């Protein structure tokens, strides 16, 4: 029987959703709207479109946070199988290797294990989406000028989680009965980034064949 993802998540506090929208805020209303159209059975390609009258930055902010929470949980369910020994290098098959760079410890691109890369990646995103200067939550506070650029970087890095998980841990996805769940999340993510041209085409290359198969 398929293991319920919610049960898996509940057991692992490390991979809890790391940011929530506060009820009563404008952003929360938009989040609910996005969730409602998602559940209504509309096709994923159309649910990602900006609803009339909504602000594009709010729409992107809501999705970036939601995708971060969901992808973080997906990786969390297979994190036990993604170890220093199974994945000593953060890669997507033999052809793609990702190096980590940040403004703290790794100023130069560093070759790290997948679990280490993922931990840094999740912490880095969590820091940004909880930073009021980057993701303002108060009404009337504008988004920074480089907001879209920051989101592009976040989404580009989140895409790499899909690359690694699909290429290196597909057996785990299958054994957990999570294939449909992961595919739905991937498709939603893919349509979203394509709708707003947020991730460079080259980054999508490692999963191109699979994408052509499942996103049509």
List binding-site positions for Zn(2+): 82, 87, 164, 169
Residue 143: helix, strand or coil by DSSP? coil
Closer residue to Zn ion in complex, CB, 134/210? 210
The secondary element (H helix, E strand) that includes residue 58 is: helix 56-78
User: What is 59-109 written as a DSSP string?
Assistant: HHHHHHHHHHHHHHHHHHHHGGGS-TTT-SS-EETTTEE-EE--SSS-SS-
CB of 40 to Zn ion, least distance (A): 35
Q: What is the largest CA-CA distance in the chain?
A: 50
Contact pick of 112, 114, 125, 155 for Zn ion (by CB under 5 A) = 114
* Region binding Zn ion by CB under 5 A among candidate stretches 1-9, 32-40, 111-119, 181-189: 111-119
Residue 96 phi, psi (nearest 5): -125, 130
Contact pick of 27, 70, 168, 188 for Zn ion (by CB under 5 A) = 168
CA neighbor of 69 nearest in space, from 130, 11, 145: 130
Tokens 């999508």 correspond to 204
87 binds Zn ion (CB under 5 A): yes
118 binds Zn ion (CB under 5 A): no
DSSP state of 142: P
Closer residue to Zn ion in complex, CB, 21/166? 166
* Region binding Zn ion by CB under 5 A among candidate stretches 35-43, 79-87, 150-158, 189-197: 79-87
* Region binding Zn ion by CB under 5 A among candidate stretches 14-22, 24-32, 36-44, 86-94: 86-94
Residues in the site for Zn ion, rule: CB under 5 A?
A: 82, 87, 114, 168
């Amino acid at each position: 029987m398929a293991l319920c993802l919610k049960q898996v998540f509940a057991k692992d506090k490390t991979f809890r959703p790391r940011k929530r929208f506060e009820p009563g805020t404008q952003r929360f209303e938009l989040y609910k709207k996005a969730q409602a159209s998602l559940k209504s059975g509309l096709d994923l390609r159309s649910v990602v479109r900006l609803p009339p009258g909504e602000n594009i930055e709010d729409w992107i902010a809501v999705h970036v946070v939601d995708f971060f929470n969901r992808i973080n949980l997906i990786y969390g369910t297979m994190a036990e199988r993604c170890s220093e020994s199974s994945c000593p290098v953060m890669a997507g098959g033999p052809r793609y290797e990702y190096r980590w760079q940040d403004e703290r410890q790794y100023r130069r691109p560093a070759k790290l294990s997948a679990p280490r890369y993922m931990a840094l990646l999740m912490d880095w995103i969590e820091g940004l989406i909880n930073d009021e200067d980057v993701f303002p939550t108060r009404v009337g506070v504008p988004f920074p000028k480089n907001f879209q650029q920051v989101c592009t970087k976040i989404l580009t890095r989140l895409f790499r989680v899909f690359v690694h998980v699909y290429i290196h841990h597909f057996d785990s996805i299958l054994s957990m009965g999570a294939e449909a769940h992961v595919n739905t999340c991937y498709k939603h993510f893919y349509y979203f980034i394509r709708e707003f041209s947020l991730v460079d085409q080259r980054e999508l290359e490692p999963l191109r064949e699979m994408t052509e198969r499942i996103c049509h």
